[in-house]
Chain A
Amino acid sequence: MKKQEWNEGMNHIDPELVTFYVEEKDRLAKKRKAPAVWLRMGAVAACAALILGAVVALPMMWEKDPGPLSTPSETSADASALPTPGETAAGETETGKISQGEPWWGNPPYSAQGIAELFGKTLSDSISTNAYTKVYAPDPRYLYIYPMSDDEYLDLYRCQEINAPPINKEEMKGFVDRVLPKLAAAMNVDVPEYEIRERAANSLWESSLHIYQDIGNKRISVNQGQTSCSFGIYSNSNGGKLMLDGEAVEVDQRLSDEEIIDSLQSVKEKLFDIFGVSFTDAKIYRGYDSYSENGATFINVYFYNEAAHPLNQKRSRPWSDYIVIDFDNFSNYADDVVSDSVLTVVSINYYQYRIDVSKQYVPFANTKKISLEEAEALLYQGYVFGNHACALCMAQQEEITFDGYDFVGMEYVFGRDYEKSVPSVGVPFYVFYKEIGTASNGNIIYAKTYVAAVEVEGYEAYFEQQKSQHRN
């Protein structure tokens, strides 16, 4: 790589990182001017971090199928219905519903600030969250809203420490030697030679093995870490369509999700044969934006076993082994093809866990769900979280009201443990959607916001301090 290429690449770095840089620089400058204040804030932040860990939002879905969309409760909002800190007596959450061990709280377990941290710390370590996030879809089906749980008590999840086996070259070679000849035959190309390279552990990641190899006019990327192994097939920018046994891997976005899954039946069977697996379930996620004139910006098709992990029915990406086919529909490169009809594949990845993943993400406690009416009262008071932690973006948001919101569902939001690069604690939320306009490409703009579905203390104090930035 030449220096000029490096510099050009740096010129194309994510603008959010530039935003992070300038905001952080300003923050550090202010910190130098007011060290005593900063130290106090740092101590608070450190305590909060100890409680919950460094976290980032990771939506967790409730059910596989969106089903009928929920609409606002008929019960009118009443602020008096708000739970107050300490209202839940110790032991009330212990009604025999604890999944593992004893609960580690009696009163409401989370502070509002702690809940905010679930959404934050992605770029600026801000603990603020937007009042709402804009999402786009041609119709509500593609919001993928998940129905609410009828359970009175909801599980809280956490990531368990699991002893993973060390990386193993022979294991990886065996895996690749099983897959590669079948893949090459399906692509009608020669089986390429490959080299397994080891990446030593450092402060950023665990040790791992990887292969990066051209195959025909495509590339494969195989990685083995301690907890999982993946085999990816990628299109080069000039690689053309991926053909398997003469059949192009492509989808017509004009079809419904069910029709797309049916149309991929033959491709699915080929992939099962190549990877030596079989999955019983499939699901699709489409992405939309405000400006693309060609429909979905991506379609991801997952093949997996829903019963392999209880969380598989509660989020988009499965927690167990799966194959995902990624169809992109936006221009990364000058010769990328976008279409309002048939999309060609960009990558196919098979993810295989090397540990018993059913033991990694487990419910560790069970807590009383607040009612929809209580959640609506919080919503109308503005005690909401927006799934994005940029104070400046938040300050620039137009004020909207969620009165008469259009849809409500439930999602889990997982924090993230940066040190271990894994999700940490998972908390359920009511998710409210309100249609707020139409984008230039015709997609409907929805405001989406989160209200914790469990009791939380300290809303008033937290949002009082957020007023300067939080307009809702």
Chain B
Amino acid sequence: MERQTKPNDRIPMSDEGIVALYFERSEQAIGETDFKYGKYLFSIAYHILHHSLDCEECVNDTYLGAWNAMPPTRPNVLKAFLTTIARRIAIKRYHSNTRKSVIPSELTVSLSELEDILADDGDTGGGEALEAQRLGRVLSDFVSALPRRKRYIFMSRYYAAEPIDTIAGELGVSRSTVNKELAAIRSALKERLESEGYLI
């Protein structure tokens, strides 16, 4: 899908309005979504893939996913809904790409920080295939219990694969502060996963 140029005088439509367009099956929904969130969704994909063409395709697939999901889904927070779709598509492509060769994306770097928790892809991890939903629930419980700043740092780094410098800039702290907090989170997470029976 061709990306639109953002005219200076155009005001983004409200989320409710965009969702209404999806429900009316109006193709304008895609254009409005792209106008309002296209750049943001591209950045989500880019942190994971580091490949502009792949990212463009991911963003377009995100719009297709949104088009297929709405209706019946009516998201409470459109941006979060689109983020979830974009990340899933980008992760799928990431794994497809890494089967061909290692890609030097921010996701690769953020995953390397988790070396105490994650095995190499060739490793079975010690047994049965893990159930993604259950792991998602364990991770959600863990992240929800974190103090607000740590929660944001975790989501930024390990969900959205944001660069550490970006996170530090957003929070107005030094890079080393973010690194220290990430280390504390990883340590706590490792304990939690072990206590939940995940073999690490």
Chain A residues with a Cβ under 8 A of chain B: 1-26, 28-29, 32, 121, 123, 125, 197, 199-200, 202-205, 210, 212, 219, 221, 223, 237, 332-333, 390, 392-393, 396, 418, 421
Chain A residues, CB < 8 A from B159: 10, 13, 17-18, 21
Whether the pair A2, B184 counts as a contact (CB closer than 8 A) is: no
The listed residue (B81, B111, B144) touching A14 by CB distance below 8 A is B144
Minimal beta-carbon separation of A12 from chain B (angstroms) = 3
Whether the pair B188, A202 counts as a contact (CB closer than 8 A) is: yes
Whether the pair A237, B131 counts as a contact (CB closer than 8 A) is: yes
Whether the pair B147, A199 counts as a contact (CB closer than 8 A) is: no
Q: Does B7 have its Cβ within 8 Å of any Cβ on chain A?
A: no
Q: Which of under 10, 10 to 19, 20 to 34, or 35 or more describes the interface residues of B?
A: 35 or more
Chain B residues, CB < 8 A from A199: 191, 195
Task: Known A-B contacts: A1-B200, A9-B132. Give 5 more (CB < 8 A).
Answer: A2-B120, A10-B91, A10-B136, A10-B158, A203-B184
Q: Interface 1/0s, chain B 35-74, versus A by CB < 8 A?
A: 0000000000000000000000000000000000000000
Chain B residues, CB < 8 A from A237: 131, 134
Nearest-CB residue, chain A, relative to B152 = A24
Minimal beta-carbon separation of A160 from chain B (angstroms) = 22
Whether the pair A9, B130 counts as a contact (CB closer than 8 A) is: yes
Q: Does B16 have its Cβ within 8 Å of any Cβ on chain A?
A: yes
- Per the bound structure, the CA–CA distance linking A51 and B170 in Å amounts to 27
Chain B residues, CB < 8 A from A22: 77, 79-80, 83
Whether the pair A1, B83 counts as a contact (CB closer than 8 A) is: no
| Contacts of B130-155 to chain A: CB distance below 8 A | 130-140, 143-148, 150-152, 155
Number of A-B residue pairs having CB atoms within 8 Å of each other in the complex: 165
Q: Interface 1/0s, chain B 159-179, versus A by CB < 8 A?
A: 110000000001110000000
- Per the bound structure, the CA–CA distance linking A219 and B172 in Å amounts to 45
- Per the bound structure, the CA–CA distance linking A2 and B115 in Å amounts to 10
Do A392 and B77 contact each other (CB < 8 Å), given the known contacts A11-B132, A11-B136, A199-B195? Answer: yes
The listed residue (A18, A29, A219, A392) touching B170 by CB distance below 8 A is A29
Nearest-CB residue, chain B, relative to A32 = B170
Chain B residues, CB < 8 A from A200: 191
Whether the pair A19, B77 counts as a contact (CB closer than 8 A) is: yes
Q: Could you list 29 examples of A-B contacts with CB < 8 Å? A: A1-B119, A1-B125, A1-B130, A1-B193, A3-B121, A5-B125, A5-B130, A6-B111, A6-B117, A10-B87, A10-B91, A13-B140, A14-B143, A14-B144, A15-B80, A17-B140, A17-B144, A19-B77, A21-B83, A22-B80, A24-B155, A25-B152, A28-B170, A197-B195, A199-B195, A202-B188, A212-B195, A396-B76, A421-B145
